[in-house]
């Protein structure tokens, strides 16, 4: 994975299909303990948004690699008092070996990347969530033994997770169906980018019909209907998004061996029912665990430890 050493990961599209496949292979080897990697470096976590899985999985991954983690809470650093991002970026570049940022604007992430020499990782922005998608693909590959040729259906809000799933899915030769309410679709620019990235065998469906998107799908995926920063809209969104709920009835339309994924946290009874989330087709908990393994592989690769 030396080809990734020193690079940033701001978008899942910063990787090509071969690089994603190599990361997944490395993650699987680290998870099974077939391979051990040591990386005595320092990871900074600069998180402007609340986090459970991303914060803990990054921290544990770095500790298991033999490194250290510094939690750079914006409320306790000068960046929270208005220090320009370009100043913060240049200072952290001299202290840290790698930095994961969880923030709102993609342009802020790009500012850090432009003013830092160390690798910058997108730990979530309003535009994309590439680390989540690496964990999702690892989970899918563990289940089906492949990615190419499978059909992945995302149901709900056309948000950052949907964007990264679409871009990453077509890079891996998957068919990606995105079903959203009419006024909550993926940005046209992301759809066009996905079309340009898609392997020849990858098909894209953008629809407002959840049943059409679900038919014969191998993976059903959902996320909360109102992301962080949209809490005031949550109650109004429920009736609009109700037809996109993953429930037992909708699951019957999918492939009989289909699995269900959710990036968490989940609002049970809204975007997904308890019976599905706790059912035999749910891979949600494997998916959550795989955040750690996928990110361990990513950190090691960006730091040139493998």
Q: Is residue 64 annotated as a catalytic residue, yes or no?
A: no
Q: What pLDDT sits at residue 155? A: 98
Q: Which of 102, 218, 237, 262 is catalytic?
A: 102
Q: Is residue 255 annotated as a catalytic residue, yes or no?
A: no
Give start and end residues of each alpha helix (H) in 52-105: 53-64, 85-95
Q: What pLDDT sits at residue 208? A: 98
Q: Which of 53, 55, 129, 218 is catalytic?
A: 129
Q: Is residue 132 annotated as a catalytic residue, yes or no?
A: yes
Query: What is the Cα–Cα distance from 156 to 110, expressed in whole angstroms?
Result: 27
Q: Which of 53, 55, 291, 293 is catalytic?
A: 291
Q: Specify whether the CB–CB gap between 283 and 261 falls below 8 A.
A: yes
List of the chain residues with pLDDT < 70: 1-2
Q: Specify whether the CB–CB gap between 159 and 228 falls below 8 A.
A: no
Q: Is residue 237 annotated as a catalytic residue, yes or no?
A: no
User: What count of other Cβ atoms lies within 10 Å of the Cβ of residue 195?
Assistant: 12
Question: Based on C-alpha coordinates, what's the Rg of the chain?
Answer: 19
Q: What pLDDT sits at residue 18? A: 97
Q: Is residue 218 annotated as a catalytic residue, yes or no?
A: no
Q: Is residue 223 annotated as a catalytic residue, yes or no?
A: yes
Q: Which of 8, 39, 132, 295 is catalytic?
A: 132
Q: Which of 8, 39, 223, 293 is catalytic?
A: 223
Q: What pLDDT sits at residue 2? A: 62
Q: Which of 218, 237, 263, 293 is catalytic?
A: 263
Q: What pLDDT sits at residue 230? A: 78
- The strand order across the sheet containing 68-71 reads 68-71, 42-47, 98-102, 120-122
Taking only the tens place, the pLDDT of each residue in 174-217 is 999 999 999 999 999 999 999 999 999 999 999 999 999 999 99
2-128+291-302 matches 132-287 in fold: yes
Report the DSSP beta bridge partners of residue 44: 70, 99
CATH number of the domain located at residue range(s) 2-128+291-302 in this protein? 3.40.50.1370
What tokens does 127 get?
């535009």
Domain ranges within the chain, ordered by starting residue: 2-128+291-302, 132-287
Candidate CATH numbers 3.40.50.1370, 3.40.640.10, 3.40.1190.20, 3.60.10.10; the one for domain 132-287: 3.40.50.1370
């Amino acid at each position: 994975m030396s080809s990734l050493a020193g690079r940033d990961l701001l978008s899942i599209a910063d990787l090509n299909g071969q690089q994603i496949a190599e990361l997944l292979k490395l993650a699987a080897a680290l998870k099974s303990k077939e391979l051990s990697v040591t990386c005595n470096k320092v990871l900074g976590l600069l998180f402007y948004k609340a986090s459970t899985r991303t914060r803990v999985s990054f921290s544990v991954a770095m500790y298991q690699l033999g490194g250290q983690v510094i939690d750079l809470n914006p409320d306790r650093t000068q960046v929270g008092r208005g220090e320009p991002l370009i100043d913060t970026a240049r200072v952290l570049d001299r202290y840290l070996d790698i930095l994961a940022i969880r923030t709102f604007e993609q342009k802020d992430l790009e500012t850090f990347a432009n003013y830092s020499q160390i690798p910058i990782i997108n730990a979530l922005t309003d535009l994309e969530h590439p680390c989540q998608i690496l964990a999702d693909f690892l989970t899918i590959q563990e289940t089906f033994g492949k990615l190419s040729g499978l059909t992945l259906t995302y149901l709900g809000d056309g948000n950052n997770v949907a964007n990264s799933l679409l871009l990453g899915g077509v890079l891996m030769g998957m068919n990606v169906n995105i079903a959203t309410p009419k006024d909550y679709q993926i940005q046209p620019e992301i759809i066009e980018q996905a079309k340009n990235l898609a392997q020849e065998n990858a098909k894209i469906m953008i629809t407002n019909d959840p049943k059409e998107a679900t038919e014969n799908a191998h993976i059903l995926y959902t996320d909360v209907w109102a992301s962080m920063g949209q809490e005031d809209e949550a109650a109004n969104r429920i009736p609009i998004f109700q037809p996109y709920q993953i429930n037992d009835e909708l699951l019957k339309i999918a492939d009989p061996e289909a699995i269900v994924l959710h990036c968490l946290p989940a609002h049970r009874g809204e975007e997904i029912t308890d019976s599905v989330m706790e059912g035999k087709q749910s891979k949600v908990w494997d998916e959550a665990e795989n955040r750690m393994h996928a990110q361990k592989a990513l950190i090691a690769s960006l730091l040139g430890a493998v």
